[in-house]
Structure 1
Amino acid sequence: MTDSSTVLLVMFNKAALSSYNFPFANVITLSQMVFAFMILCAMKSLKVISFTTSESLSGSSNSAVFVSFRTLAQTLPLALTYLLFMVVTMEAVRGINIPMYTTLRRTVVAFTMVMEYFLSGQIHSRVVVGSVGIIIAGAFVAGARDFTFDSYSYSVVFIENMCKAVYLASVSRLCKSTGLNIFGIVWCNVVICGPILFLWSLLRGDLQTTLNFPYFFYPGFQVVMLLSCAFTFFINYIVVLNTTINSALTQAICGNLKDVFTSGFGWLLFGGLPYDLFNILGQILGFLGSCLYAYCKLQGK
């Protein structure tokens, strides 16, 4: 379910940015945050969810923002990292074809491993490091013969990977230090990042221009935007859940199976990548590296 949702999210974002030629990736990101804010606010008000591990669903909220300002301040670095990650992700999806985007995104595992070492001193076994090396090698092999090479787009993907690595490596530690649960982390992200992104979009004139977008009231475009928002909310929840239960590195790697389907569907729907043996070999290497890592985790290595 998670893998299919991630595949669909990438497709919907790509459709909005490329098929409909919507020019403002930051407005899409803002829409996703507003959607998450409304859903979380409604569920919290109805006492369906809580934002902290110690909070009772039957208890009443003592703050208009549901969490203390001190807690919001503690989550500020994580939220800003999340904001940068979301913005550059949309820019990366716009500027590069889907197969190469999913291939290069696999290098996030290396960044995550480094961040885990610096933040928590975690050292992985040689077999795990080897499996990550195979994944990285697959990404470079796949990209070696990319005829649509774009240095700017490739750089944006690597910035996205660094942001995601910092975000994943910080989530578990922040949950423990603040007492926030999954919904609390997502709430703090949107409460902090939403106003920042709104002001930025407003000052740039993106919001005004969006209202004049030719397809703004087109049902197809509105459906794409709505589904993009819904799948983003669901995936953000799953990412935080998997990271807190397992590890940042596991979250970074476990999505590689879905990348096979993302690459295939992306190539069929949007094209942009001619058939090449190196790309196929790179995809296979990355997939084998992911399988090796999964085997190591099952064996407790």
Structure 2
Amino acid sequence: MESRSDSETTSFLSLSAALSYGIASMAMVFINKAILMQYANSMTLLTLQQLVTTLLIHFGQRMGYTKARAADMSTAIKLLPISLFYNANVAFALASLKGVNIPMYIAIKRLTPLAVLIVGFVSGKGRPTTQVTLSVILTAAGVIIAALGDFSFDLFGYSMALTSVFFQTMYLVLVEKSGAEDGLSSVEIMLYNSLLSIPFLLFLIIATGEFPNSLSLLFAKSSSLYFLAILILSLVMGIVLNFTMFLCTIVNSALTTTIVGVLKGVGSTTLGFVVLGGVQVHALNVMGLAINTAGGVWYSYAKYQQKKNKPPKQISDIEAHRK
């Protein structure tokens, strides 16, 4: 009876983490697009997000709201690659959003699950089942078909999004490994990520020439209530997205997190055709989206069957987090 209760609790936590990440990720795409239409200095925006994250976690620790352990140098050095890959992913993603419309941006980012599968296999994680492999390939095929119908092709934007896919794949795999092996919580990974990011980002905004003009422009635009509202929303949702993403990756797996991103993209793509200026509809977009959705549903079914057929002992083991 106790084992059954533990299993139900674990399943609820896994589902909650996945749903929370899906909702936060979907909202963040539109929020970022909205603010970048008003304020193009993406690196300064990312730096502000990391500063706010660090301050909130610090005050949460001081007031007893969070249980994150104090940062130590050895763990920080170990997590440095995660921070570098994370910031590279977000930086390239924001750069791509300047020239790529939301449906196509989401379509390109849906290539991440395939990349995670390849990296996992090469790193010795084991070969996924045939159904899982085929479902992710089908999802990727839908992405390519949808992208072929893009009337506003932007080579720079596409290359930025594809580069973002690579960095997102690397940091998700590293987050999964760090959370499982080192026992780090999502809040602790967020804290280390923010602390390690700030010096790197400060260097970038100076090297790229964004600073100090970006700050003066930020203060000037803050007189607009609309801009101020979406700026605050962007900073808050950046924290929520990071927390739910790290939590989903630790509780489930890197591949599950990317598939959740694929599934939430169905709703985001549909809204993207009409929100924030919209895009011209093409038959290939609709066909690609349908194929992509079929791949996502197939994957969900394949993972359910895989978990159902596993012996109870294996499910309770730490490897259950690495399916």
TM-score > 0.5, shorter chain as reference: yes
1:264 matched to 2:270? The reply is yes
Moved more, 153-162 or 205-214: 205-214
Moved more, 169-178 or 244-253: 169-178
Deviations 1:58-88 (A, max 9, x none): xxxxxxxx21111111111111111111111
Report the equivalent of 2:8: none
> 2-side partners of 1:209 and 1:97: how far apart?
27
> 1-side partners of 2:160 and 2:228: how far apart?
27
> 1-side partners of 2:83 and 2:205: how far apart?
18
- Provide structure 1 residue ranges, at least 5 long, that are not aligned to the other structure: 53-65
Q: Residue 21 of structure 2 contacts residue 248 of structure 2 at CA under 8 Å; is this kept in 1? A: no
Question: Which aligned pairs between 1:1-20 and structure 2 lie closer than 5 A?
Answer: 1-18=20-37, 20=38
Report the equivalent of 1:58: none
Report the equivalent of 1:49: 66
- Provide structure 2 residue ranges, at least 5 long, that are not aligned to the other structure: 1-19, 308-323
Deviations 1:94-114 (A, max 9, x none): 220001111111001111111
Q: In the superposition, relative to structure 1, how do residues 106 and 203 fare at CA in structure 2: closer, same or farther (>3 Å)?
A: closer
Percent of matched pairs sharing the same residue? 24
> 1-side partners of 2:176 and 2:71: how far apart?
18
Cα deviation for residue 227 of structure 1 reads: 0.7
Cα deviation for residue 175 of structure 1 reads: 2.3
Q: Residue 141 of structure 1 contacts residue 282 of structure 1 at CA under 8 Å; is this kept in 2? A: yes
75, 79, 82: which one aligns with 2:83 = 79
Q: Residue 30 of structure 1 contacts residue 197 of structure 1 at CA under 8 Å; is this kept in 2? A: yes
1:200 matched to 2:204? The reply is yes
Q: Residue 51 of structure 1 contacts residue 182 of structure 1 at CA under 8 Å; is this kept in 2? A: no
Report the equivalent of 2:222: 216
Q: In the superposition, relative to structure 1, how do residues 119 and 44 fare at CA in structure 2: closer, same or farther (>3 Å)?
A: farther
Q: Secondary structure at the match of 1:268?
A: coil
Cα deviation for residue 187 of structure 1 reads: 0.7
Cα deviation for residue 184 of structure 1 reads: 1.0
The one-letter code sitting in structure 2 at the alignment partner of 1:11 is F
> 1-side partners of 2:277 and 2:209: how far apart?
32
The one-letter code sitting in structure 2 at the alignment partner of 1:42 is F
1:110 matched to 2:114? The reply is yes
Cα deviation for residue 255 of structure 1 reads: 2.4
Report the equivalent of 1:142: 146
240, 244, 250: which one aligns with 2:256 = 250
Moved more, 155-164 or 2-11: 2-11
> 2-side partners of 1:100 and 1:196: how far apart?
29
Cα deviation for residue 179 of structure 1 reads: 3.4
Q: In the superposition, relative to structure 1, how do residues 207 and 217 fare at CA in structure 2: closer, same or farther (>3 Å)?
A: farther
Cα deviation for residue 272 of structure 1 reads: 5.3
> 2-side partners of 1:35 and 1:293: how far apart?
36
Deviations 1:140-177 (A, max 9, x none): 11011211111211111111111111111111211244
Deviations 1:185-244 (A, max 9, x none): 111111001121023213444232123324233221111111111111111111111111
Question: Which aligned pairs between 1:221-240 and structure 2 lie closer than 5 A?
Answer: 221-240=227-246
> 2-side partners of 1:156 and 1:129: how far apart?
26
Report the equivalent of 1:37: 54
Deviations 1:87-144 (A, max 9, x none): 1111122220001111111001111111112334221011100100110110011011
Report the equivalent of 1:126: 130
Count of residue correspondences? 286
Q: Secondary structure at the match of 2:266?
A: helix
Report the equivalent of 1:288: 294
Deviations 1:24-55 (A, max 9, x none): 11011111111111111111112222235xxx
> 2-side partners of 1:285 and 1:180: how far apart?
37
> 2-side partners of 1:31 and 1:202: how far apart?
14
The one-letter code sitting in structure 1 at the alignment partner of 2:26 is V
150, 153, 157: which one aligns with 2:157 = 153
Q: Residue 243 of structure 1 contacts residue 250 of structure 1 at CA under 8 Å; is this kept in 2? A: yes
